[in-house]
Structure formats: C-alpha cells, structure tokens
Structure 1
Amino acid sequence: MKTASILKIIPYFGKWPAWIDFYLESCRHNPDISWLFYTDCGRPPTAPANVQFIETTFEDYKKLVSTRLDIDFNPTHPYKLCDLKPALGFIHQDQLTGYDFFAFGDIDIIYGKLRAFLTEHVLQKYNVISNHERRISGHFCLLRNSEKYRNAFRKIPHWQQLLENDQHLGIDESKFSKVFLPHRKHPKWLQCFWSLSSSYQRNTLYKEQYSTILSPMPWWDGSMNHPQQWFWQNGKLTNSSDGEREFMYLHFMNWKSNTWLPKPLRNEPSAWMKLDKLVHVAIDIGAKEGFKISPEGFTAINS
C-alpha cells in the first residue's frame, strides 16, 4: 500500500518564537511528513530537510492571497492569517502536486510520532481529520488534496467579506466546522442521518487527541487535571500523568498566552508571560537527550 503523503502549509510573519528550534526538532522526527512555510523570518539554521521555506514579505503574501481569491485581503496584523487556513489548499495548490493531503495549523506545538495516529488505515478511510471531537482543530487539521476539499472554504457563507474584515474572526474553527459538522450538538445517530444530505459530512474523523492543556474540556480520564510536565525524547511525547501513553502533539497555547484560557483565569498572566527566560536548555542537548515542556518553559528533561 502506498504511504499517503502530507504537506502542512503555514504562513508566518514577524519573528520566530523562542521555541522554534524545538518545534523544528519535533518535525525532524516525522521525516515522512512535509512542512512548507511562507515567511519573512528567514530559514532557521536548525531546520530539517522535511521543512521548507519560501521567503516573502507580509505585503507580498497579502497580494498573492488577494489575487488567488479575487478579494481585497489586506489585514494590518499577521494574526489574521489564522482565518485564512481553510483556503490554504486552494491558494497554494501548485505546491500540493503529488501530495495526498494538505494540512494547516499552528507552531505553538511540539509534535510526537504523528504517523502513529495518522495511520494508513485512517488516511485511506477519511477525507477530513480533526483532532477535536466536535469541531475542526485549527492547530492541526488534514484535508484530502482534491478539488472538492481545496475549495471547501467556499461553502462558508460570506467567506469573502469575512476574510476582508481586518479582525481575526476564528473562521478556521467556528465557520469552517459548520461545513463538515453543521449538526454537531445533535446525537451521533442523528448526525449520521443528516450526513445523507451532504457529502462533506461523510468520511470525516473527529477524534479528540487531548493536545491542548488548560482548555475548558476534561482530560481523557474525565478530570480537569491537565498534565503540567511534558517530555519529548527521540520523537516520543509523554507527560507526567499518563505513564507511557504517547500523545500526537502538545499544543501549549495556554501557557504562552492568557487569551484563550478559561474565563476565570484570563485576568492573570499566563505561565510563560511571567517568565524572564523561556528556553533553559540548548537545542543540541535537547535534541540528543530530550527536553521538558512545562510552566517553567523548555528545560532539560531531567530537571
């Protein structure tokens, strides 16, 4: 059986975050998945062969998007690019030649062994794969590289006006989810019934991977005790609470920022906002011996 190929496309402008070398190291240990950045940040010296970079300015990238989508895409801040995720497969379809899937997502992530979760059985069976149970996961989502799914964003009502709006609107999750799961609050048997009316609702997988710590949802064991110590070693991602259980990736958004923390916690700085220094281990040591991700930042795995 042919191994399904995946390209994750990420436009990113401004300045690489302090953890970029650790992000790239986790990409390196997934050599059968490819990443493509459009960026003005330059190519990091530690970038592996499966992560490519196309250097461009934010202004030129906005012009490219405007031309490809025939809209006036001119946001003042790169954060608006999050709303562009559903359309990335169409915008960059020339880069997708030969790939079976395209993916979008974020870089406030450390990956585990992705293919242990994105198995050939899963990739053969499903056309859309989300890592949340009841919506598209904006931090990592896969879609089959076909004309239908490259153009699925056009099913979002008034998508042109939404993208031309200068404000970040969360289109990648809130609006795009409704294309594939418009009846997500209904029981599963009723969702199956509704799926008969739209092929976009069939052959989709919504499986919670428990990647985002400090989110309002319970952990896999039903508790609200999200693990606070995570360990990456030779591509293997585990934590202090779940023994040898491996995870697909860690999405540490809520340590980085208080924007999406549960409402009672948003008035206080997030864990990393309080730190003077985020990275406490050299990447060469972290790549060789492993590293820990926690409220204290990136530290040696045995610290």
Structure 2
Amino acid sequence: MNRCVIILPYYGRFPNYFQLFLNSCGANADFDWLVFTDDRMAYRYPSNVIVHYESFSDMQSRVCEAFDFAPEISAPYKLCDVRPMYGYLFRDYLDGYEFWGHCDCDLIFGDLSRFITDDMLDRYDKLFPVGHLALYRNTEENNRRFMLPLDGRELYREVLESPRSFTFDESYLSTNINRIYQTYGFPIYLRDRSGNVAFSNELIQLTRYDEELDTYLMEPPLRAVYEWDRGALRRWFMRLGVFEQQELMYLHFQRRKMRVDCDMDSDRFQILPGSFEPMPVEQVTEANIRSLRWRRRTDGMRHRIDMTLADMRFWWNRLHMAMNLLSHRKADR
C-alpha cells in the first residue's frame, strides 16, 4: 500500500480526455486514487485507481449523515467546499494510509514523487494551497481540523449550510481551510507547485498562488512546447536566448475545452492550448523548438469571443460570491 491516496468524487460525464488523466495516475505507482462516480463508461482504470460507482444522492447522504445539522449540498460543484472534509467523510476507506488528498480530473499529472518528497510528508500536516491537488495527514485530529473556529465563527457549518461557494478548499477568498491551519500554527506547505493553465488564453500560460503576496500571479507569455512522456511532464522554451527544460507536477486545464487527437493509449503526446496531439519529433532541441506548434489552432476571433464570455461569467460569479460574503459579515455585526 502507498503512503498517499487521493479521493475524487465526480458525478456526471467525465471530461473527454479522462482516459489520459487515468493514464497519468497509473504512471504514478507511488500514489493511489479512489474515484466515486456515476459515470459508468468503460474506462481502463489502472491498478492504483479504484472506482466506486454511486449516485450524487449517495454522496449527499454521506455528507448529511456525518453532521447533526442539515448541510446544503444541492449540486456537485458544491463539493469543492467539502473537499477539506474528505478525511472525515471517507475515513472508512483510509485505513493504512498516512495521507489522503483530493484532486480535480481536468488535469494531467507528471511525476508526483519528484515534487512530493518523503521529507515534505514527514514535516507537514497539509500540502499545497490550491484545490485541484492537496494532501492531508491522515490522523483523527487532522481530519477534524476543518471544524475549528475561524475569527470566532464555525466556518465549516456556514459553508455546509449555504448553497453558495466559499472556495473553502483553497486560498482564494478569506474563508478557506488554509487560514485555519495558519491561524492555529499547524504545519502547512503553501508553495504552489501546480501548472494552473489560465483558461482565457490562446496559449498555455500558467498562474500560481503566491503565499507571500496572498494572491495569484500569472507568468509572462512564454513560447513553450509541452510534452507528457511515460509519466514525466515537461516543457521546453527559450528564455533570454537560453534553451531551457522544466519538469512540471501537473497541468490543470480549468474550464478549457481540449480535443484529443492522439491515441488514448499513447505513452507520449504533445499538449497544446486546445488539444492533445502526437509528438511531432523524437526530442525537442534548441535546433527544432521554433518549428514546433505552441499556439491554439482555431478561429482566433471565435476563440476570443468565447473566452470573453467565459471570463465575464467567471468574474460575475466571483463578484456575486464576494458580495454575499460581505453581506453575511455585515449581518453578523
């Protein structure tokens, strides 16, 4: 048995590239996954990914039966707020594991063991500040820390009794699990090692949470070639005239439509802003990198319109969340 198991409840149809996601899990033999879903498509699940078929109502019942009040879990998206509670809710599945975690499925993993070291697992009770991948030490005390009051409020109860999103699982609004760990001085690793792809761009541009500034920063545009190769996720680029290679823990394609033009069983493929495609060269080199595609192949105007509308919907929802939070705080005074 591995030290870590990652829990993924998901209800509805998985993304069209879910098999590629599963293959990237399978390449990480040092980690296990537990998938709870109602999608019964005939995916090829690797031996370290165990699927449990259930309905969303089963998940709702699991949450409701765990608390002595009435949680409001009306839609699967609300599970983002529930993620820090998985160690408590799924404790019957966690015997023998030192760590449990949660992740999204709209991503491709690289070699996790290069980024999640034994030293980190020995030192920290929680790893990573974002919701698309986080790990928690599997102890009864740690699995209940989400219940600790924050600023004199039973935040977890407010989160569960409200249908709106609090982003309780990550450092976005102030109402998040990381602030509980910071407030009480619990050991937490807050460096963002993700490859979080900005969804409104025609190229792959990464954004990361900066723990010192407590905000998300986007890297400058970078002409880079991305490749998944037998479990390793890399990118190559030229910076100030120097040819560089960087290995990534994972890429997260939040709300980005991706076309699969490579074989689903391929052990090597290129990742472009809108597609997964066969790798056109045996090796990316300084001599050939400028000849390789790196932008989205699409109608640029149509893409910009689609992304502008998506941006407007996204930021309207965020504004609505912030206004609700402000209104709630005023009502508490």
SS in structure 2 of the partner of residue 110 of structure 1: strand
1:235 alignment partner, one of 201, 210, 231: 231
Partner of 1:193: none
Question: Which residue, 156, 162, 167 being the options, matches 2:164?
Answer: 167
State the TM-score, normalized to the length of structure 2: 0.70
Structure 1 position 119, deviation (Å): 1.4
CA spacing shift, 1:20–1:216, aligned 2, 3 Å: closer
Percent of matched pairs sharing the same residue: 27
Q: Which residue does the alignment assign to 2:53?
A: 55
Matched, 1:282 2:266: no
Letter in 2 for 1:169: F
The structure with more strand, counted as a fraction of residues: 2
Equivalent pair of 2:236/2:245 in contact (CA under 8 Å): no
Gaps of 5+ in 1: 131-135, 183-197, 258-271
Q: Which runs of 5+ in 2 are unaligned?
A: 199-205, 211-216, 239-243, 281-292, 294-333
Contact 2:207 2:219 in 1 (8 A): no
In structure 1, C-alpha distance between the alignment counterparts of 2:219 and 2:52, rounded to whole Å: 43
Instruction: Give the partner amino acid of 1:118.
Output: I
Output the CA distance in 2 between the equivalents of 1:78 and 1:18. Answer: 18
TM-score normalised by L of structure 1: 0.77
CA distance in 1, matches of 2:208, 2:39: 34
Higher RCO (C-alpha 8 Å, min separation 6): 1
Aligned mates of 2:31, 2:134 — CA distance in 1 = 13
* Deviation of 1:43 (Å): 5.9
User: Residue in 2 aligned with 1:179?
Assistant: 180
**Which is higher, the Rg of structure 1 or of structure 2?**
2
SS at match of 1:208: coil
Q: Write the distance in 2 (CA, Å) between the matches of 1:155 and 1:43.
A: 40
- Select between 74-83 and 49-58 the one with higher mean Cα deviation: 74-83
Aligned with residue 107 of structure 1, among 98, 105, 108: 105
Q: Give the deviation of 1:92 after TM superposition.
A: 0.5
The answer to whether the 8 Å contact 1:4/1:123 transfers is no
- The Cα of 1:69 is off from its aligned counterpart by 2.6
Equivalent position to 1:147, from 130, 140, 147? 140
| Aligned equivalents of 2:196, 2:142: Cα separation in 1 | 26
Query: CA offsets, 1:132-155, max 9 Å, x none?
Result: xxxx21111111100111001102
- Give, in whole Å, the separation in 2 of the partners of 1:217 and 1:68: 34
**4+ runs of 1 displaced by more than 6 Å?**
none
Aligned residue runs from structure 1 range 68-87, under 5 A: 68-87=66-85
How far apart in 1 are the matches of 2:41 and 2:32?
15
Deviations 1:86-127 (A, max 9, x none): 100000011110000010121111111101111112211222
Paired with 1:252 and 1:281, the residues of 2 have a C-alpha distance of: 17
